Amino acid sequence: MAIPLSYNIRNLIVRKTTTLMTAAGIAMTVAVLLAVLGLVSGLESAFNSSGDPSHVLVMRKGGNSELTSLLTQQQFQIMKIFPGILVAPDGQPMASIEMVSVINLPNVENPDGSNVTLRGLSMKGVQMRKIKIVSGRMFQTGQREVTVGKATAKRFPNLQLGKQVKFGRGLWTVVGIMDGGGTSVDSEIFGDGPTVAADFNRPDTYSSALLAATDEIAANALMRSLEADRRLNVTVMSEKDYFASLTDSAKPVQFLGFFVCIIMAVGSCFAAMNTMYAAVARRAKEVGTLRILGFNRGSILLSFFLESVLLSLLGGIIACIIVLPLNGITTGIGSFTTFSETSFNFRIGPDVMAVGLVFSIILGALGGLLPARQAANKEILTALRET
């Protein structure tokens, strides 16, 4: 015969002070885990949604980042004529040679500044990306103008619409704010390719080239052709794969967060265990009475075990409530690959909260098993004699 679940709920309510204190300790542990998962999920979402599988990114041989890559105009002119590249309505191939650099600007969290990705590109490059202008307009060819990603505009006060920002050889005017739909575009600054290159004294040497193939099959064939051409001596990958590789920047944060969570989880398990041991000691006569009423050892073990799980689940629910306001908040993280800050939004979705609740249940199960076993193993007469 099983003990009703209402019995456990009533006991948790009666011991509300102890219940809330233990649940709060568990909630802090789960909240740290949820915050880390939300950060990693947001960063992965930004990079995984970036890039198009039919777009081909070309960098120098052995290059793993646009920032450290060098590509000449001569190489670009050769690759533009390869078969499989999509042709624009004006008859020109959808290809863009781009210069990528970083500039240091103060942000809302660090007055000393952090690096932002500056991308000089052609209008073809703009057309190849899914961009919506939120306010203002796109930069004009040949002008010292920039259009800024919306996430970057939020974090860097100097990149507001209408302001001027100094980099290269002078001042550049922010003429527009763009929305890249949660992609890496939201973390970048766009400017006219030749003008940006001239400012950085790189009129012929750019960073990479982006080519739009007619479809994914054509993109794979184009990649093989480009890598096989000895005149180019380049590394080629799909734009999608390139951005997927950048998620490595989240791994140090993920490791540190999980490490802290493990340490806190040990403490939370002991807190739940201590609470349940105290409950067993206080309710010894109840245990004896339950045995007299016909409840067997297994029912008592299960009852106390479920009570510990319910206690931890309450902590998990509190953690979800604490962390939920972080959802959608814009933050940034530096990358050792791009040497710049990637801005993104915390993502505390149902999947993240589900992980947190499962984690809290595991904490309760680990912390409640031994006390539940102790309660189940009490002899009837011994339990009734305890005060």
78, pLDDT greater than 80: yes
Mean pLDDT estimate for the chain: 84
Q: Which of 182, 180, 188, 184 is nearest to 132 (CA)?
A: 180
The answer to whether 382 touches 322, Cβ cutoff 8 Å, is no
In 72-210, which ranges are continuous DSSP H helix?
73-79, 123-127, 150-155, 193-199
pLDDT attached to residue 168: 87
Q: CA 185, CA 207: separation in Å to the nearest integer?
A: 17
Q: Cα 382 from chain centroid?
A: 55
Judged by average pLDDT, the poorest of 11-15, 131-135, 175-179, 225-229 is 11-15
The answer to whether 33 touches 356, Cβ cutoff 8 Å, is yes
pLDDT attached to residue 380: 63
Element (H, E) at 51: none
Question: pLDDT grade, residue 192 (50/70/90)?
Answer: very high
Judged by average pLDDT, the poorest of 7-16, 288-297, 299-308, 374-383 is 374-383
Q: Which of 220, 313, 251, 227 is nearest to 43 (CA)?
A: 251
Question: pLDDT grade, residue 254 (50/70/90)?
Answer: low
- Residue 215: CB atoms within 10 Å: 12
Q: For the segment 85-108, what is each residue's pLDDT rounded down to a tens digit?
A: 999 888 899 999 999 999 988 887
Q: CA 351, CA 328: separation in Å to the nearest integer?
A: 15
139, pLDDT greater than 60: yes
Q: Return the higher-pLDDT residue of 230 and 190.
A: 190
What secondary structure does DSSP assign to 97-114, as a single string?
A: EEEEEEEEE--SS-TT-E
List CB contacts of 224: < 8 A, sequence separation 6 or more.
none
CA distances from 329 to 154, 317, 344 (A): 10, 21, 8
Dihedral Cα 120, 239, 86, 215, nearest 10 deg: -160
Q: Return the higher-pLDDT residue of 30 and 46.
A: 30
Q: CA 102, CA 96: separation in Å to the nearest integer?
A: 19
Q: For the segment 221-250, what is each residue's pLDDT rounded down to a tens digit?
A: 999 999 999 889 999 999 988 887 776 656
pLDDT attached to residue 330: 76
382, pLDDT greater than 80: no
Burial of 282 (0-12, 13-18, 19+ CB in 10 A): middle
Q: For the segment 196-212, what is each residue's pLDDT rounded down to a tens digit?
A: 999 998 888 899 999 99
pLDDT attached to residue 159: 92
**Range from 250-259, 326-335, 360-369 that averages highest in pLDDT:** 360-369
Q: Which of 156, 195, 196, 151 is nearest to 177 (CA)?
A: 151
Question: pLDDT grade, residue 335 (50/70/90)?
Answer: low
Question: Taking the model in full, what pTM does it have?
Answer: 0.73
Q: CA 75, CA 306: separation in Å to the nearest integer?
A: 67
